[in-house]
Amino acid sequence: MKSPNIVISKLDLQRLDKILDPLKYPLDLLEALENEIDRARIVGHKRIQPNVVTMNSKVHVLDETTSREFVVTLVYPQDAGAADTVSILAPVGTALLGLKTGQCIEWRTPQCRPLKLKVLEVLYQPEANMDYDL
């Protein structure tokens, strides 16, 4: 399956650039995030649509391989670990960044298990609520 088009805000891009430090995080996770950033369309944070998953967005997701639904908040690595949070450096976090409601992403886990996630709804997006200081 072809990867869907994604959108990232300039503000998120600036913040993500600060965590791309190979001395702090595993190189393979950083490379996956860089690949997503490279294929993204970058827009101003005031122009991003409210149905796009951005950093600190709370997202209702469907795992189409298991029919399991869940809600997660996409966070920076230092904010991960709390219930219902997923780090941007986790494979699922990297996959969700920039997706729109209704879009799906497919990939294989390191154990070769296929995953297919669909964004059902963006429940909260900082940009849509003018929360630019998160």
DSSP 90: S
pLDDT at 32: 85
pLDDT < 70 regions, the chain:
1-2, 22, 110, 134
pLDDT at 17: 86
Enter the CATH code of domain 7-129: 3.10.50.30
Q: How far apart are CA 37 and CA 20, in angstroms?
A: 11
Q: Which of 55, 45, 57, 48 is nearest to 123 (CA)?
A: 57
pLDDT at 2: 67
pLDDT at 1: 54
Which DSSP string corresponds to 42-59? EE-TTTS-TTB--TT-EE
Q: Which of 83, 84, 13 is nearest to 55 (CA)?
A: 13
